[in-house]
Amino acid sequence: MTGPLILPFEGKTPKIHDTAFIAPSAVIIGDVEIGPQASIWYNVVVRADINAIRIGARTNIQDGSVIHVESDYGDGGHPAIIGDDVLIGHMAIVHGCTLLDRAFVGMGAIVMDGCVIEGDAMLAAGAMLTPGRRLPSRQLWSGRPAKFMRELDDRGIAEMQRGVTSYVHEAPLHAKALRDLKASS
């Protein structure tokens, strides 16, 4: 068993908080910072080769997702800035955008360059938020291209945060299972 690929690029080395969980099949490249209790799951790629990626505390990026950036062509481009307590579902693509604290990106969703998803907002599974769009707080957007569907109530927002809490709880269990496997081999 090998660990994750943590690759310095162009003089920039990923900075990963020691309480973060990084699955062994994850790939983390370049100008990346990952906060406390964040989790980067199996087969996730976080590639900050041409701009920066910041991932906040307790944020989880689920299996098979890709986080990338838009190049800085002298105009700053678009880094990927992901706040605290963000939930990113399996196989999502998050590219050169900003996800504010407590944002939710559903499974297989795509968030494109220059987009902003505000806190307590949800991009539904399979949706595509086209470049430069802003998804306001407490709204659910769905479709390709994504459009407003409805306001989120307190119950829906609480369910999103239960998902974050679940991943914060689950990550140390996976880390222990991997340590146990390594110790037994």
Full-model pTM: 0.95
The CB-side HSE value for 115 (13 A sphere, CA atoms) comes to 25
Residue count (the chain) = 185
pLDDT tens column, 87-126: 999 999 999 999 999 999 999 999 999 999 999 999 999 9
As for how many domains the chain has, the answer is 1
Q: 127: domain range?
A: 5-184
* CATH classification of the domain holding 129: 2.160.10.10
Rounded to 5°, angle at Cα 36 from 30 and 40 = 55
The mean pLDDT value for 10-17 works out to 97
- Residue 49: C-alpha distances to residues 34, 60, 67, 79, 144 (Å): 15, 21, 11, 10, 28
Asked if residue 59 has pLDDT above 80, the reply is yes
User: Is there a contact between 62 and 80 (Cβ–Cβ < 8 Å)?
Assistant: no
Q: Can you give the pLDDT at residue 166?
A: 95
